[in-house]
């Protein structure tokens, strides 16, 4: 609670969250395997865009993605024991049923992004029902990336649906692969380039899911 008391300590609080996720993985026998296509350039702001098929995605991304980040995710996560303490302070909740409140959430995310934390978002906006197939991506994160001139880093999580399916609430130990793809630079892009950027990120993640045996048809 000390580290969550003021934004200047949020990086310390995020590090604590990484430690929590690391030990949770050990006790649950969830074995992370991080595959990086290349190193993320230093000194650049980053928005990580990951596919979403399990609540385990939160732990995987929060623990094993590099740097210090905040989540932009559905407000229900504030109710999760322990994790909710961090979420209500560091992260940006989104009320998916309200366009106005979603817009305000992105305004708050822009302010949080300017404090020096990178952002993690699941641009599908939800966990697809009973399938790990990638759903259409929402445009908010890509508009923000272009506005801030940030790097967009696609992230593919092919195993979490099998480890902890949302439909069953039964966990299975095993490997959690996390593919960190090559960063996409948005410097020089204009607002009208957002659909092409979103399509590119979708293609990268969908292709990796296909390579791991998760059909997208």
Q: Which position has the higher pLDDT, 107 or 192?
A: 192
Q: How is residue 88 annotated by DSSP?
A: T
Instruction: List CB contacts of 139: < 8 A, sequence separation 6 or more.
Output: 194, 195, 198
Three-class DSSP category at 7:
helix
Report the predicted TM-score, pTM, of the whole model to 2 decimal places: 0.90
Q: Which position has the higher pLDDT, 101 or 26?
A: 26
Nearest to 159 by CA among 124, 209, 203, 100: 209
Which of 5-9, 136-140, 204-208 is predicted with the least confidence, judged by mean pLDDT? Answer: 5-9
Instruction: Please check the confidence at residue 13 and state whether its pLDDT lies above 70.
Output: yes
Give CATH superfamily name and number for 7-211.
Glycerol-3-phosphate (1)-acyltransferase (3.40.1130.10)
Q: What is the mean pLDDT of residues 121-146?
A: 88
Residue extents of the structural domains in the chain: 7-211
Q: How is residue 127 annotated by DSSP?
A: P
Q: What is the mean pLDDT of residues 93-119?
A: 82
Residue bearing tokens 């659909």: 195
- What per-residue confidence (pLDDT) applies to 98? 66
């Amino acid at each position: 609670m000390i580290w969550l008391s003021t934004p200047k300590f949020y990086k310390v609080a995020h590090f604590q969250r990484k430690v929590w996720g690391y030990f949770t993985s050990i006790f649950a026998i969830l074995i992370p395997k991080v595959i990086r296509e290349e190193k993320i350039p230093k000194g650049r702001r980053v928005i990580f865009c990951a596919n979403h098929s399990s609540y385990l995605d939160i732990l995987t991304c929060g623990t094993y993605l590099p740097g210090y980040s905040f989540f932009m995710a559905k407000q229900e996560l504030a109710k999760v024991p322990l994790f909710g303490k961090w979420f209500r302070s560091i992260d940006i909740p989104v009320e998916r049923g309200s366009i106005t409140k979603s817009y305000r959430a992105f305004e708050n995310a822009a302010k949080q992004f300017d404090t020096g934390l990178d952002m993690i978002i699941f641009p599908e906006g939800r966990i697809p029902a009973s399938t790990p197939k990638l759903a259409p991506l929402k445009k908010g994160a890509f508009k923000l990336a272009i506005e801030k001139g940030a790097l967009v880093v696609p992230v593919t999580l092919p195993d979490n649906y099998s480890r902890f399916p949302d439909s069953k609430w039964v966990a299975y130990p095993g490997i959690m692969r996390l593919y960190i793809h090559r960063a996409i630079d948005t410097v020089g892009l204009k607002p009208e380039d957002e659909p092409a950027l979103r399509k590119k990120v979708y293609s990268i993640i969908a292709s990796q899911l296909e390579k791991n045996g998760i059909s997208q048809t």
